[in-house]
Each structure stands twice: as C-alpha cells, then as structure tokens.
Amino acid sequence: MKKTLLRIFLCGIVVGAAVAVWGVVSFKGNAVVEGRELYVGRDVTYEALLDSLKPSIKHHLAFDLYAERLNLANSYKKGHYVVEDGMNVIEIVRMLKLGLQTPVNVTMNNVKMPAQLAGKLATQIEADSVEIVEVLTDKALAKELGFDSPLTMFSIFLPNTYEFYWTVKPREFVERMYNEYKRFWEGGRDEKRKRSGLDRVEVATLASIVYEETRKVDEMPRVAGVYMNRLQTGMPLQADPTIKYAMQDFGLRRILNRHLKTPSPYNTYINKGLPPSPICMPSIEAIDAVLNYEDHEYLFFCARPTFDGYHNFAKNYSEHLRNARAYQAELNKRNIKK
C-alpha cells in the first residue's frame, strides 16, 4: 500500500513538473516561428486575425488559453503590429489587447495636388483616400490653422519620412503635419525669410515653381534669384510649370503659344506675381534655395539643349532668344512636339 502511494506521489510530482515545464515553455518561451507584420483593420474579425497570426507562431493552446482569459476575442485593437522573434504568447496577446502598435513610416514627396497626396497616404495608413481628401479640402480646418484655403494649407506638407501609427485619423495626420511645419519654419528659416519679403506660403509657392523648373540642387538658388528679380521689377514670372498646373496636364514636355493663353489664376504669363498657392510639394532644398536665393542680374533662363537638366541664364531678352532657339532646335531634332 505504501509503495502504491509512493508511486502515485512520484507520478504526481513528475506530472506536475511536466505541466510546469510545459507552462513555462508554452507561455513564456519564444512563440514566434517567423517574424511578420500584422495589419488589423477596422473590418478584420477575430477569426481572420487568428488565421493571419497563427501560422507565424507556435504554442497555440497556450495562446488560446491566455487569449480567452483576457477576453481577446472581444477586446483586440486594430492597428499595425510587428510579431518579432523572441516574443512569447503573453506578450503577443497583451500587444493585441492593449493596442501596442509599432509605428509605420509615411513618406511624402513628388505630389502636386491634394487628391494625389490622399492617394499616396491611403497606401501607407488605414484611412482611405476619400476620408483623407475630405480633410485635405476642409475649408474650416484650413481657416482654423490660419490659411485662407485648403490649397494654401497644402504648403504645410513637407517631403520627408515620418513615423505615424497606422490607425492615425486624417485630421490627426494634418494636425501633426502642421506642428512639423511650424517647427520647420521656427528653426531659423523665418528669420531668413525676411530677406525676400515673402510670407511662408509665398516662399512655398515660389519654391514649388523652382522645384518644377530644376531638380539640380546647386542650380536652385540661381533660378530662385531669377524669379525674385522678376517679382521685384514687376515682370510676370512666365513660369512654364504654372501652365502645366493651370491646364492640369503634367505630362506636357513642350509649352506652345496656345498654352500660354490658358485662363487660370495659375497662368503666370497672363497674371503678374505669384500664383495663389503652391503648384506642387516642393523639396526642402527648393524652399531653402528661395530663402537663400542668389543675387544676380539674370532675368531669363532656358533649358540647355544638351538636356542635362541645367539651364542657360541671360540678363536680356535678345540673349535669352538665342538660348531659346538653340533649345527649340534640339526639341525639333528630337521630334518632341508636345
């Protein structure tokens, strides 16, 4: 009888030890088979979440037990999560329960219109392009932030890569970018801006034209200087990129005389001064080029016929005509008609 009891006792110890080991390994051991990202959207059901998650982890029983204990099925949070090697079941469940998201990198550049920006953002955060464009074109929000229209509010968006939570709401996104915009200008650029006599939106507007004229950073201050000379002497800017914007035809490679008659406040051939708002999202280098525009006497510039991205500059119209004819001849030679 004593031997039987001893055997039962020893078996109990072994079983208890095995259960303890299983519990430690299953609940606190590495549960990740393969690291992965999870995007849990507003329409993702718990079953869909498990179908996406479980192939990447082990210790499924432990996961289910702990998930049930925390009522995960009814309390998981939407968001972007990273399941990394070394995480255990407890950490994974708590991450989903508490919404401990990993931020995503949101990149903005080479954008001309709010709708285009909305389309790019919709591929990087949860909100869809319709939701985003509604906020980007919200007149009340623009006024609240101190802009006269959504098109001038567009100047708050500076090309760069930013960290956001994937679930960020469009309005929260704009408010964050407005704070980034204020920090950008308050870092000494406002002081430099006084030299030009332009306000922030006007600097961004001129920078957008400079950016569309040249992508050569070393040439940007010289191009900016041409436009500053024109503004200061009352000449029309006569900037070809504004014609493309006015026509909403950004594929035009050759601006013809008939294009210059396009009726639009953005047509700088028929309207003096700057257009009403930026014609694109200018690079930071272009903004700084306007703030540090080159002092010179050039009033004209024309793309080089070598098509190297640089321009020939001229102080008078006759010299400019020679440069323009050389470039037009090369366009004809290459059969570029539009």
**Residue carrying the six token digits 């035809």:** 249
Per the CB < 8 A criterion, the answer to whether 324 and 257 are in contact is no
Judgement on whether residues 113 and 77 belong to the same structural domain of the protein: no
DSSP-based three-state secondary structure for 80: strand
**pLDDT at res. 40:** 97
**pLDDT at res. 3:** 55
**pLDDT at res. 187:** 78
**pLDDT at res. 17:** 46
Helices (H), 34-99: 46-53, 60-69, 89-98
Query: Is residue 21 included in any domain, yes or no?
Result: no
In sequence order, what E strands does the chain have? Answer: 36-40, 79-83, 104-108, 160-164, 300-303, 311-314
pLDDT, one tens digit for every residue, the chain (338 residues) = 655 645 555 455 544 544 554 445 566 789 999 999 999 999 999 999 999 999 999 999 999 999 999 999 999 999 999 999 999 999 999 999 999 999 999 999 999 999 999 999 999 999 999 999 999 999 999 999 999 999 999 999 999 999 999 999 999 999 999 999 999 999 799 999 999 999 999 999 999 999 999 999 999 999 999 999 999 999 999 999 999 999 999 888 878 889 999 999 999 999 999 999 999 999 999 999 999 999 999 999 999 999 999 999 999 999 999 998 998 888 888 887 66
Judgement on whether residues 215 and 319 belong to the same structural domain of the protein: yes
CATH number at residue 63: 3.30.1490
Domain that holds residue 179: 105-186
Judgement on whether residues 202 and 162 belong to the same structural domain of the protein: no
Per the CB < 8 A criterion, the answer to whether 299 and 221 are in contact is no
Query: Is residue 7 included in any domain, yes or no?
Result: no
Judgement on whether residues 324 and 200 belong to the same structural domain of the protein: yes
Judgement on whether residues 51 and 174 belong to the same structural domain of the protein: no
One DSSP character per residue, 108-152 reads E-S--SHHHHHHHHHTTSSS-HHHHHHHHT-HHHHHHTT-SSHHH
**pLDDT at res. 328:** 87
- CA-CA-CA-CA torsion sign (203, 204, 210, 214): positive
Judgement on whether residues 294 and 247 belong to the same structural domain of the protein: yes
- Measure the CA–CA gap between 95 and 80, rounded to whole angstroms: 11
Helix/strand/coil percent split, the chain, to 5: 50, 10, 40
Judgement on whether residues 203 and 161 belong to the same structural domain of the protein: no
- Phi, psi angles (nearest 5°) of residue 227: -70, -35
- Measure the CA–CA gap between 107 and 100, rounded to whole angstroms: 22
302-308: long-range contacts, CB 8 A cutoff, minimum separation 24: 302/327, 303/327, 305/329, 305/330
Tell which of 98, 124, 142 closes a domain: 98
Judgement on whether residues 222 and 266 belong to the same structural domain of the protein: yes
Judgement on whether residues 156 and 258 belong to the same structural domain of the protein: no
Tell which of 151, 186, 221 closes a domain: 186
Query: Is residue 8 included in any domain, yes or no?
Result: no
Tell which of 186, 212, 241 closes a domain: 186
What is the b/e burial string over 139-153, where b = at least 16 CB atoms within 10 angstroms of the residue's CB? eebbeebebeebbbb
Judgement on whether residues 63 and 170 belong to the same structural domain of the protein: no
Domain count, the chain: 3
Judgement on whether residues 113 and 92 belong to the same structural domain of the protein: no
Judgement on whether residues 73 and 201 belong to the same structural domain of the protein: no
DSSP-based three-state secondary structure for 169: coil
